[in-house]
Structure 1
Amino acid sequence: MNHRGRVSPRTAAPAEERSCSQLNPWVFLVSVLAIKTAFVTICLVVFLHGSYDQYKTLLQNATEWHCIPSTPTSNKESWTCCPKGWERFQKSCYFLSEDAMPMAESVQNCTGMGSHLVVINSEAEQEFLFKLAKGAFTNAYETKYYIGLIAYKSGQWQWVDQTPYEKAATFWKPGEPNLLFAEKCAAIHVKGNTDSSTYSNWNNILCFTSCYRICEVAAKFV
C-alpha cells in the first residue's frame, strides 16, 4: 500500500499552529479598532450632549479649565468655566501673577496665555479686583498690578482690547495721572492692609517698572 498520500498527525499540527498564529494579530487589530471607534463615539456623544460629571474639564491650547454649575436660566444644564487657578467674576476670569515684570513683557505674558491685561469696565469689577489684589499680598507695604491701559500718545489713553477710554469710568488716585510725558502705563496701586479705598487707586507709572499683572479672559459657558 502506498503511504505517500497519508499525512501523519504529527505533521498536521504545526500547519494549524502556523495558521492560527497568522490570524491572531488581525483579530487583535480589529478588536483594538473597534474599541477605539466606540470610545471616540462615546466622547462625541458626551461632547455634543454638553456636560458630564460635576466638574467638566475643557482643553484649549493645553489649558485646563475648571467648571462650576451656572445659575439655571432654563431646563438645560449649563456650566461656567475658567482656566484652573483663575478667579471668576461675572463673565470674565482673572489671573494675578506672582512675579513682576515691565509692561511690554506683561502684555506678552498675558497674550501667551490666550488672554490680555485686564480691562476694567465698571465699579463692581474695580471693587472685585481691588479686594483680590489686596488679599494676595497682605504683608506687603504696597503692591502694583499692571492693567491694560496705556497712553500711546501724551494724554491719550487706550485700552489694550480697543475698548473706548471714558474718563468718567476711570478710577485714578487723586492727582493722577500725572507726568504723562514719561509715565504712560497704568497700574492698580494697593497699600496692603493700610489701604481701605476700594476705588480711586489707579496710578500711572514708568512702563519699564517691574510690577505684577492682572490678566483677563472671557469665561466659557457650556
Structure 2
Amino acid sequence: MASEITYAEVKFKNGSPAPVVKGPPETKKPEQRPQKYPLWLPWLISVLLLLVCIALVVALLDRGWTCCPKGWRRFQGSCYFLSPDTMSWDESAQNCTGMGSQLVVITSKAEQEFLSKQIRQSNESKAYNFYIGLFAEKGGQWHWVDKTPYNVTAAFWRKGEPNYLTGENCTVIHVPTKTLNNWNDISSSLDNHRICEAAAVIV
C-alpha cells in the first residue's frame, strides 16, 4: 500500500512568506584538454623560419647571380661561346676579343669535360675542330693567351700529340675523339670553329 503524504501550510505572524535561500549559481567548467605543445612554440618556429629566410637572402645578395649573354653557355664562373662559323686562329682570337672575351683557357678536367660535352650535344653541323687559346712559340713552348702558366698535367692531348709538324703551332679540340684527350696541334692558318670565354656577369 502506498504511503500518504501530508502537506501543511505554515504561516508567520507578519504574513510574509518564508525567505527562499538560494545558493550560488552553478557554473559549468569548460573541459580542459591537455595541450600537445606549449603556446610559445609556434612563435619560436616562426622566428626561426624568418631568420633562415633572411640568412638565405643575405647569402644570395652577397654571392650574386651569374648570367651570360644570349647564345653563351655558363659553367662555374665563366661563359662560353661555340662559334657556328670558321676562321683562322688569329682571326678567331680577334673575334673573341671583339666580343669582350678571349679564346678559351682550359685549366681543369671539369672544364674540359663541360666543353667536350657541349660540343658533342650541339654539333649538328658536324663541326670538326674548335680553336682554344693555347699556342706554341718557336721551340715548342706552349702558352695560354691570358698568360696562365701551361701545366702539362692539366693538358688533354690526343695520343701522339702535339707532334710539332711544320706550322702546327695552335691547338684545337678535335671533335671526333670520344675521350677527354682530344687536343690536337694544328696550323694557325686553317679555318676552324672557335670557343670564346668570358667571365660571367654577376648581378
TM-score, normalised via structure 2 length: 0.68
2:76 is aligned to 90
**Distance in 1 (alpha carbons) for counterparts of 2:110 and 2:118:** 12
Distance 1:73 1:93, change over 3 A: farther
2:121 is aligned to 135
State the superposition RMSD in angstroms.
1.9
1:160 is aligned to 145
Q: Specify the structure having the higher radius of gyration (Cα).
A: 2
The answer to whether the aligner puts 1:122 opposite 2:108 as a matched pair is yes
Match of 2:194 among 208, 213, 217: 213
Contact preservation (8 Å) 1:154, 1:180: no
**Distance in 1 (alpha carbons) for counterparts of 2:121 and 2:190:** 22
Identity score, percent: 54
Higher strand share: 1
- Offset of residue 137 of structure 1: 1.6
| Aligned amino acid, residue 177 of structure 1 | P
1:44 is aligned to none
Higher helix share: 1
Matches within 5 A, 1:66-81: 74=59, 76=61, 78-81=64-67
Query: What are the ranges of 5 or more consecutive residues in structure 2 without an aligned counterpart?
Result: 1-55
**Distance in 2 (alpha carbons) for counterparts of 1:211 and 1:128:** 20
Matches within 5 A, 1:154-193: 154-191=139-176
Match of 2:133 among 138, 144, 148: 148
**Distance in 1 (alpha carbons) for counterparts of 2:109 and 2:58:** 26
| Aligned amino acid, residue 198 of structure 2 | V
Distance 1:200 1:72, change over 3 A: farther
| Aligned amino acid, residue 189 of structure 1 | H
Distance 1:115 1:85, change over 3 A: same
2:178 is aligned to 196
Distance 1:74 1:100, change over 3 A: same
Indicate the larger mover: 174-183 or 124-133. 174-183
Query: What are the ranges of 5 or more consecutive residues in structure 1 without an aligned counterpart?
Result: 1-70
Q: Which segments of structure 1 move beyond 4 Å, counting only runs of 4 or more?
A: none
| Aligned amino acid, residue 178 of structure 1 | N
- Offset of residue 96 of structure 1: 0.4
- Offset of residue 166 of structure 1: 0.8
Structure with more contact order per residue of length (Cα contacts < 8 Å, sep ≥ 6): 2
- Offset of residue 173 of structure 1: 0.1
Equivalenced residue count is: 147
